[in-house]
Structure 1
């Protein structure tokens, strides 16, 4: 092969490589120009002034013999979100937009459990989920069902009868952090309450909680950071559609209505933000054995006033 032929071959191979490379770089996916690229974006809000409701969405006060407080919510996780067209839409027959991963379980009367390791935990005012509008069925939606799986909140309490040396002292108006699992059944491996991480490696039924508190008594050079766990007796699950569209016992599927019905056309060009606004008014409730209106923990006798309820007290759905 002469010199000229060699050059032609080199140039030809070079052009082939360029052609292959260019074809890989310039491939364009076909799209439907009429298909919406907009998204539904979900945020949480925790409203201390939103009305306090019972399971049937009726206004309710605090039960006799109990006390309650409005906590500060740090974060939350839901494991299920569904749009429902009407009050007669049964659970699961609406438009299911999100479902947290689940695992097989044989505990607490269920066959599955929420996989907490896959949960999306979010504070208020932050987008925690986006769903393309093109994936949502065209139609008008009046209701949302959101199944709450986890909540992290700060509460006030009194710590009494602490033995330090030869003295017993009280520490009123302390602040601690509660991590509460209020889904129907949750597979929990490790989780952090505030600063401390604890291992569970088990499936826990609705109402399992862990409480972290830091005790500091500078005058005695005493500091302790402890985590205790417990189980609440029940959880309020607000459902204004109980008569027409009930939810299973033991679930935490909270139902709320859109402030204005949401119509999906499939041709939306702008994102829509859906705010799930939960009532946290007096949502942490306990048996007030000494009628002082405070959650008391007696260190000396190792007795804590029983937590009765830490369920959310209503859901309003707002668009922005």
Structure 2
């Protein structure tokens, strides 16, 4: 139990990549009405039960050391470029505590598996039932009970969604082709999403990617930016298979 309490004090393992700014934007609040169908994900986890909880929150840090797929420090190859996005929101699909390096996937203590659906055909993450949070907001919490006691070396967490700001230089975008935009990135294995928000703008998957009533493979993205003299410019697309991991 000592190990579990130590883990609780960490409030979960927290991930990259956001620089601190002097002024935070207003969170996108989600309200629900029991008589209407939910249209957007919740923006905070609703805790149940009384007593102590193990609470998970994200920590965004764009100055964090860049790591490779094995967790080792990596460098940008010669002739390549990269940027550190400013993270606005994230969502998780899966949370598991692993006892050691050799613990097989699913053989540890699985704490959370996000809701899924077959509305789009095969099984996919149901985006509207996800919990999409900003930094420091609980995305999952579970009461601490005796069955959680144990010694765990690793926290396995699978992300399903990221929302972040990036600088861009793109001839396909109107105006002077240079600016800052926001990306909604669906990084889960398969996502059913009918609509989502970028800032205060509602996006619906376009016909070019199959529309809003089909599953979208890992790497579906939406983009939005405000262009002086033009207004709001939206776009979306699908990353090539295997390019998002």
Q: Is the structural similarity TM-score above 0.5? A: yes
Distance of aligned partners of 1:161 and 1:230 in 2 relative to their CA distance in 1, 3 Å threshold: closer
Instruction: Give the structure 2 partner of residue 37 of structure 1.
Output: 51
Q: 1:204 aligns with which of 198, 207, 216?
A: 216
Tell me how far 1:161 sits from its aligned partner.
7.9
Distance 1:50 1:56 in 2: 16
Higher strand share: 1
SS at match of 1:117: helix
After TM superposition, which residue ranges in structure 1, 4 or more long, deviate above 6 angstroms?
Answer: none
Measure the CA separation in 2 of the matches of 1:162 and 1:146: 35
Q: How does 1:77-96 map to 2 (within 5 A)?
A: 77-96=91-110
2:70 corresponds to 1:50: no
- Kindly indicate whether residue 193 of structure 2 is the aligned counterpart of residue 188 of structure 1: yes
Is residue 114 of structure 1 aligned with residue 119 of structure 2? no
Show structure 2 runs of 5+ residues with no match.
1-49, 206-211
Contact 1:196 1:227 in 2 (8 A): no
Aligned partners of 1:212 and 1:225 also within 8 Å? yes
Query: TM-score, normalised to structure 1's length?
Result: 0.54
**Aligned match of 1:134:** 145
Q: 1:159 Cα deviation (Å)?
A: 4.7
1:62 deviation in Å?
A: 1.9
What is the alpha-carbon distance in structure 2 between the residues aligned to residue 159 and residue 93 of structure 1? 45
C-alpha displacement at 1:135, in angstroms?
A: 6.5
Question: In 2, are the aligned partners of 1:181 and 1:207 still within 8 Å (CA)?
Answer: yes
- Asked if the contact 1:208/1:230 (under 8 Å) is kept, the reply is yes
Superposed CA RMSD in Å reads 2.4
Provide structure 1 residue ranges, at least 5 long, that are not aligned to the other structure. 1-35, 164-168, 217-221, 235-249, 251-307, 312-320
Decide which of 94, 102, 115 is 1:101's aligned counterpart: 115
- Higher Rg: 1
TM-score in terms of structure 2 length: 0.70
Alignment of 1:1-320 (within 5 A): 37-104=51-118, 111-134=122-145, 136-160=147-171, 170-172=176-178, 174-200=179-205, 201=212, 202-216=214-228, 222-233=229-240
* Cα deviation digits, residues 239-276 of structure 1 (max 9, x gap): xxxxxxxxxxx7xxxxxxxxxxxxxxxxxxxxxxxxxx
> Contact 1:151–1:179 at 8 Å: present in 2 too?
yes
CA deviations 1:273-307 (Å, max 9, x no partner) are: xxxxxxxxxxxxxxxxxxxxxxxxxxxxxxxxxxx
Query: Is contact 2:57–2:138 with CA below 8 Å preserved after alignment?
Result: yes
Residues 54, 143 of structure 2: 8 Å contact kept: yes
Residues 37, 134 of structure 1: 8 Å contact kept = no
